[in-house]
Amino acid sequence: MKRASVITLLLLGSLGAFHSARAMDYPLPPQGSRLIGQNQSYVIQEGDKNLQTIARRFNTAAQLILETNNTIAPVYPAPGTTITIPSQMLLPDAPREGIVVNLAELRLYYYPPGENIVQVFPLGIGQLGLETPVSTTRVSQKIPNPTWTPTPGIRARSLAQGIKLPAVVPAGPNNPLGRYALRLGIGNGEYLIHGTSAPDSVGLRVSSGCMRMNAPDIKALFEQVRVGTRVQIINEPVKYSVEPDGRRYVEVHRPLAQVEGENPQTTPIKPSGDFAAFVAQGSDKALVDKALYRRAGIPVLVSNNGSAASSQSVQSVQNSRNAAALAESQKEVAVQ
């Protein structure tokens, strides 16, 4: 699919239409802005298998849907229930270059060089005790059709569960690494961004430290990324922004548990000194505290004048931006 067509699909979705899971391109916001996308509503259908199926349809993570809709059943939400799809977000506070992973929000951001877009993908990450490391590194190798050689630790853990792994798993549809893998230049080369033979694990904290993606997503990323591409892995449950129009937003995700049994909904979050300044310089502290307590995983307006009218004004501005971008993308399609 040509890129202009993908952008068109996304913008149609952001304006209220149902969009494909492959519509993951977001136009970059203006200079000084970090707000992208627009949340959507979806009514759960009788044929929806589970929340993971819905998440894949919208190219997001089930865990993110649960953050935003904290009253629905976590696996099999009832048909007829209207849910919010969290497709609006603040870009991470990191250079808009290469790959940026924010572990706390289970998302990977890719900034294609020379293009005014960002691609956003759901991600599976390392489990408790086998965390994906926070680091800045590079893609050191691209591996099509990877084989999988389980490490001694993985073999021992599997054996403890009664599963004896082979020495090497050949390439193919049953390979845990999927069809494509990007090796990172950290550790001894054991950290990969790869596909998976278990699609329901994407968007969860279940790996041995690698990062898992849906099959179409890793294919799209693999085809674009070059060896040497910058990769920054961060762990920021709280994102915030002062937009060019003065609007102030906070996006709070449940922090990753540090010990077994820890409740990420109630675990204290220790904001940085910069965040304290953000709150003090024009934010409504009551709204900020509410966002920190709720942890809805979507941008929340916390300006001192953050009334319903202000929210409608922001929505109108965002709709205008989306409409303008849609018109531009339709011109590109017409040219092609």
Q: In whole angstroms, what is the distance from residue 149 CA to residue 156 CA?
A: 13
Is 166 part of the annotated catalytic residue set?
A: no
- Nearest alpha-carbon partner for 26 in 15, 42, 37: 37
Is 204 part of the annotated catalytic residue set?
A: no
- Nearest alpha-carbon partner for 67 in 284, 264, 285: 264
Catalytic residue among 56, 107, 179, 194: 194
- Please list the alpha-helical segments (H only) found in the chain: 3-14, 51-57, 62-68, 152-160, 215-224, 273-280, 285-294, 308-335
Q: In whole angstroms, what is the distance from residue 101 CA to residue 38 CA?
A: 20
* DSSP string for 9-76: HHHHHHTTS---TT--EEEPPPTT--EEE--EEEEPPTT---HHHHHHHTTS-HHHHHHHSTTS-SSS
- List the beta bridge partners of residue 120: 109
Measured in degrees and rounded to the nearest 5, phi and psi for residue 333 equal -65, -40
Catalytic residue among 23, 210, 225, 296: 210
Run of H or E including 138: strand 135-144
Q: In whole angstroms, what is the distance from residue 236 CA to residue 256 CA?
A: 10
Other beta carbons less than 10 A from residue 123's beta carbon: 25
Query: Which DSSP symbol is given to 316?
Result: H
Question: What separation in angstroms does the CA of 131 have from each of 73, 166, 208?
Answer: 27, 24, 7
Which positions are annotated as active-site residues?
194, 210
